[in-house]
Amino acid sequence: MAQLDPSVAAARLAVRQLFDAILADAAPAVPAPAPPGEVAGAHSKAAASGQAPAPDGPAAGPGLDAQPVGPTPEVTSEQSVAAEVIPGAWVPGEPPLVLVACSGGPDSLALAAVAAFEGPRAGQARKKTHTGVGSDGPSEPPEDVPGPAARADVEDEPRQATGLRVGAVVVDHGLLEGSDEQTVRAAVQCGGLGLDPVAMVQVDVDQASPDGLEAAARAARYSAMEQVAQQLGAVAVLLGHTLDDQAETVLMALTRGSGARALAGMAPARGLFRRPFLGITRAQTEAICAAEGLEPHHDPTNQPGGPYYSLRSEVRAKVMPRFEQVLGTGAKVALARTADRIRQDQDYLDTQALALFAQARGGSGIGHLSPAEQPLEGSPEATATPDLTPPQHLTGAADGPNGRVAPIDLDISLLARAHPALRSRALHLAVVAAGATAGAVSHKQIAALEALISRWHGQGAVSLPGGINVRRKCGKLEFRAGPQFGTQPANRQPTQEASLD
């Protein structure tokens, strides 16, 4: 028998460690799925359930010409997300559900295969096994190990936990011809790996977004994945971003003169989302697909001259190969390691900035963490990047017109006494809380807000993305929907390149 591929073993270990942590966190209380007819926070439309055809069967379009195979929630609302689920939602008493976000590309397809293998084994006590890594460290697999990663190749010790169910969500952005067919193909591949349920989601991307097409597609995709996760009661959504993606993100941030937030790259955990492959290279995900006999889809937008060819695609195809050729093959690993180191500092500063924002906003429920409240080193709380979306009671979102621009007042005297590193972060939080997209806020715009505090000479209001204007009045910074103030522009040209985070 063939020896287990080293890439498969490395990926299994990464996913296994994540799954064990997820299972430990989810064990006390697994959230129930939204009731039939509702998707919390969603504006979506779901079609009837059905099963995608076999790969050699007739192609099914986004309406899923398919046979119903089981009960699923029927979700009806008014706009944007059309979801079809194959075949059913989480049922209380079953193991917790995680979803793999799968496009059918090498990274996400490899993640789907490894997650399908590791899900049922999550949390169990392990001896050294033929997967290459046991609970007490790596071991050399014998040559008689059968593959593949998505199916059991060994008998482990008796299960000590309930394991995890693993499903998938496949998002169709509708931007490319034939994208509906690729969505069905990816869903079929996920089903063939044993993932259940598989949700196919079609989103409407705002192609006229001032933040750029890629940012708009990302926002629609993440929103859809969150809605599906809520609908199905999933405890996490896994993303297939790799070490290569992380290195590209950091390099691009460096060339733009970005701050620590961008240089910290993509977080391993943020909200519902998890990235177990940030230590796995793109070459390894391609090797996993080859070892599993999987045929990944290669996104034409990543090909030179392809539709919607982006700056990131250019960096991936031309800059990174030359970068490694000149600086050595370990260059991208060093970039990713730099992101890890910066993120630890960034996470702490962000947490303290959120406390400052709360205090300046008038809140009293968030403050500096006492030693007893600090998460233990190495714990999921310590290693996960905090979700710095300001709490609703701090944003005034309920008062915002149409939920878009929320009126916010910040105490200038408190901000003026704060360290500039915390003050700039608190201002960024305020702009996002008022309704701007985080990625649309530039350093120049934050500097203009800083000037209203520390270099005040009677200047007018500052105009920000999202129709937000900020002025200084009576010891407060007032964030309001414009243009009721006389404004000084602090706008930037929208970037066509979105952060992957």
User: Which CATH number is 58's domain given?
Assistant: 3.40.50
Q: Domain check: are 288 and 389 in the same one?
A: no
- At 268, the pLDDT band (50, 70, 90 cuts) reads very high
**Cβ–Cβ < 8 Å for 213, 205:** yes
pLDDT of residue 307: 62
Which residues of 374-421 form beta strands (DSSP E)? 408-411
**What percentage of the chain has pLDDT greater than the value 70?**
64
412 part of a folded domain: yes
| Closest CA relative to residue 171, chosen from 227, 215, 121 | 227
pLDDT digits (tens, 9 = 90+) for 32-42: 455 444 433 33
How many CB atoms are located within 10 Å of the residue 51 CB? 18
For range 209-236, the mean pLDDT: 89
Q: Domain check: are 224 and 364 in the same one?
A: no
Q: Domain check: are 236 and 370 in the same one?
A: no
**Cβ–Cβ < 8 Å for 270, 501:** yes
Maximum distance among all Cα pairs of the chain, rounded to whole angstroms: 78
| Closest CA relative to residue 459, chosen from 487, 480, 491, 483 | 487
332 part of a folded domain: no
174 part of a folded domain: yes
Sorted by sequence, the CB contacts under 8 Å of residue 329 that are 6+ apart come out as none
pLDDT digits (tens, 9 = 90+) for 328-361: 889 999 999 999 999 989 989 999 999 999 999 9
Q: Domain check: are 284 and 196 in the same one?
A: yes
Q: Domain check: are 361 and 284 in the same one?
A: no
Range with the poorest average pLDDT among 28-32, 106-110, 446-450: 28-32
For range 215-238, the mean pLDDT: 93
286 part of a folded domain: yes
pLDDT of residue 92: 57
259 part of a folded domain: no
Of the two residues 13 and 127, the one the predictor is more confident about is 13
User: Which CATH number is 386's domain given?
Assistant: 3.30.465.60
Mean per-residue pLDDT over the chain, rounded: 74
DSSP-derived secondary structure letter, 67: B
Q: Domain check: are 58 and 188 in the same one?
A: yes
Q: Which two tokens stand for residue 168?
A: 């998938």
Q: Domain check: are 230 and 369 in the same one?
A: no
Q: Domain check: are 132 and 209 in the same one?
A: yes
| Closest CA relative to residue 172, chosen from 163, 159, 181 | 181
Of the two residues 135 and 461, the one the predictor is more confident about is 461
Range with the poorest average pLDDT among 9-13, 92-96, 459-463: 92-96
Q: Domain check: are 292 and 380 in the same one?
A: no
Q: Domain check: are 282 and 363 in the same one?
A: no
The arrangement of strands across the sheet holding 97-101 comes to 44-46, 81-86, 198-202, 165-172, 97-101, 236-238, 273-274, 269-270
- At 228, the pLDDT band (50, 70, 90 cuts) reads very high
Domains in the chain: how many in total?
Answer: 2
466 part of a folded domain: yes
For range 121-149, the mean pLDDT: 48
How many CB atoms are located within 10 Å of the residue 365 CB? 9
pLDDT of residue 184: 95
Question: Among 232, 263, 296, where does a domain finish?
Answer: 296
Q: Which of 209-213, 365-369, 387-391 has the highest mean pLDDT?
A: 209-213
How many CB atoms are located within 10 Å of the residue 498 CB? 20
- Domain range for 466 is 340-489
Q: Domain check: are 363 and 481 in the same one?
A: yes
Q: Which two tokens stand for residue 44?
A: 């979506």
Q: Domain check: are 286 and 350 in the same one?
A: no
**Cβ–Cβ < 8 Å for 99, 225:** yes
377 part of a folded domain: yes
